[in-house]
Amino acid sequence: MEMPDRYCQGTSVDVSSVSTSMATDPMAEEILRDDLRFYFMSPCEKYRTRRQLPWKLAVQILKIFMITLQLILFGLNNQLVVSYKEENLMAFKSLFLKGYSGVDEDDYSIAVYTKQSVYDSLHYVIDQYSQLGNLSVGPVSYAEENEKLLPLIICKKSYKKGSTEPSEEAYDIDAELETVCLTLDPESTKTWRMDNASFFELDFYRSLLRPFFGDKNPFTCHSGKVKSTLDFDTVSSVCKNWKISGTAQKSTHYLLIFDGFVIVVCLISAVLCTRSIILAVRLLQRFSSFCLENYNQKVCEDDQREFLNGWYILVIISDVLSIIGSILKMEIQAKSMTNYDVCSIFLGTSTLMVWVGVIRYLGYFEKYNVLILTMRAALPKVLRFCCCAGMIYLGYTFCGWIVLGPYHEKFEGLSRVAECLFSLVNGDDMFPTFAQFEQKNTMVWLFSRAYLYSFISLFIYMVLSLFIALITDAYETIKGYQTTGFPMTELQRFLMGQKEDFPLQGQEGVGTECGEAETVHPSVMLCCCKRYSI
């Protein structure tokens, strides 16, 4: 296969007509060429050439299996913990929220509308809490500190003073807030209602209606609808008398040893990739010095990027995330922390990067590297296109939120608007979005139609079609180059020994950056099974 030459920007001239007094050391040039060829070889090519074992490949394969197994084990345990928390939350809602049906609304569990219902709800919570041990079928007990039961704390926050006459539209409210709290001993709550009757006499005209057990879920809206919900924070600690017979304790120790082994493997992987990056930088410096000393030419940016392999950086980042996630996992197993979500993010992201990194080795095969080459060719154009399309998308997001937010639940917040519009681009949930505006006022209904029709028409029929066309064009370009040959870089010509094609300083275009190419050019197309013909 004969590859076409690609020179730097400027007019190409006949190199043979240019006289030069520079002399090149053939031995040094061949040594540099051999080192560069060896660096760009695949692991199999390196083994066949110098009998060098592919340690990085072996470590990556081992790391893939170990990290995946670690993720599966942690995921199963995390699923049990999350299910346990959700089921306990459901049980507590059924115990403490009077009239709870088992189904939550968007931001609350139940709602009450009368004064007596508010009183009854508060009294119900305290009554249920006082006899919790006799009601719950789960292993629950009151919190203790220094072998003493912690009291139940009930707080109400209200305006300091005020008066209101709704019929006369007169309000006199002091905006200064005051908070009053009541503590109740769980073991002596039989007379709490008689002893604290005045505390539960709420002045609804000046109350923020914020009875809370903790500091969450404020009821700050005086619309006549008081929303109630329940939430709790979990804390994990080591049991005082933890005696488990059987293999459960041994399994925990084995998991800690396994996590430690994962950390060691990730450290080895990070060290090997860092070593490869250092070697690449040194080779680039040698190659740049050689070009300057012998040809008075700077290495263009495209060739420089071939030395800086982004795969090594991806692997190092995944190793760091995996090490942090493994340490957090060990802390969770030792009951030193309970934040499963943070650990899940680190382990999940590292596993994603590890599996994405496998594509690098598939890229050595001619039939499997189409995805990689297409992504590299299409990515710059796709990013530029997304920047322009994103401006339009943000405009629709802000417009939909401010105009349609009060009338449609999918447009209540900026994040929800963005998610709703993205689902519309993918053709999901179109009719319900239109239908929920049927009962609104005429002006909002007309605006919603113009808004939704213009957005769907613009993004589905134009933006999305152009987005797909960019990727398709890059794919067709790569398929064509696989048939006719890829454009050749200065680095490839040097590796093939075509030094006569190197432009010299003084020619037009020399010393400038390489011209922008519309195609992707791999440095040296080598394969584990066969070498591309050039």
Nearest Cα neighbor of 498 from 488, 507, 508 is: 488
> Once rounded to an integer, what is the mean pLDDT over residues 74-93?
85
pTM exceeds 0.85: no
The mean of the pLDDT values for the chain is 75
Q: Are 225 and 188 in contact (CB under 8 A)?
A: no
Predicted pLDDT of residue 392: 94
> Once rounded to an integer, what is the mean pLDDT over residues 113-130?
83
**498 falls in which pLDDT band (50, 70, 90)?**
low
Cα separation, 167 vs 169, whole angstroms: 6
Predicted pLDDT of residue 156: 78
Tell the residue number behind the tokens 């010509």, with chain if given. Answer: 493
Whether 106 has a pLDDT exceeding 50, the answer reads yes
Share of the chain above pLDDT 70, in %: 73
Whether 50 has a pLDDT exceeding 80, the answer reads no
Q: Are 315 and 326 in contact (CB under 8 A)?
A: no
Q: In a 3-state reduction of DSSP, which class is residue 24?
A: coil
Nearest Cα neighbor of 445 from 433, 429, 459, 462 is: 433
Whether 322 has a pLDDT exceeding 70, the answer reads yes
Which residues neighbour 385 within 8 Å (Cβ) at sequence distance 6 or greater? 466, 467, 470
pLDDT in tens, 339-356: 788 899 999 999 999 998
Q: Are 464 and 471 in contact (CB under 8 A)?
A: no
Query: What distances in angstroms separate CA 47 from CA 43, 52, 283, 378, one per listed residue?
Result: 6, 5, 20, 33
Retrieve residue 379's tokens. Answer: 């990515």
**17 falls in which pLDDT band (50, 70, 90)?**
very low
Whether 115 has a pLDDT exceeding 60, the answer reads yes
User: What number of other Cβ atoms are within 10 A of residue 322's Cβ?
Assistant: 29
Q: E strand or H helix at 63, and its extent?
A: helix 55-96
Predicted pLDDT of residue 398: 95
Lowest mean pLDDT among 303-317, 413-427, 466-480: 303-317
**195 falls in which pLDDT band (50, 70, 90)?**
low
177 bridge partner residues: 159
Cα separation, 327 vs 339, whole angstroms: 12
> Once rounded to an integer, what is the mean pLDDT over residues 412-437?
85
Predicted pLDDT of residue 201: 52
**161 falls in which pLDDT band (50, 70, 90)?**
low
pLDDT in tens, 364-390: 777 777 888 888 888 889 999 999 999
Nearest Cα neighbor of 276 from 228, 237, 309 is: 309
Q: Helices marked H in 131-212 — which ranges?
A: 132-135, 192-195
Q: Helices marked H in 5-54 — which ranges?
A: 26-39, 43-50
Indicate the length of the chain as a whole number.
Answer: 534
Q: Are 444 and 407 in contact (CB under 8 A)?
A: yes
Residue 339, CB half-sphere, CA atoms under 13 Å: how many? 8
Predicted pLDDT of residue 170: 64
pLDDT in tens, 204-217: 433 333 334 444 44
Cα separation, 477 vs 191, whole angstroms: 83
Share of the chain above pLDDT 90, in %: 19
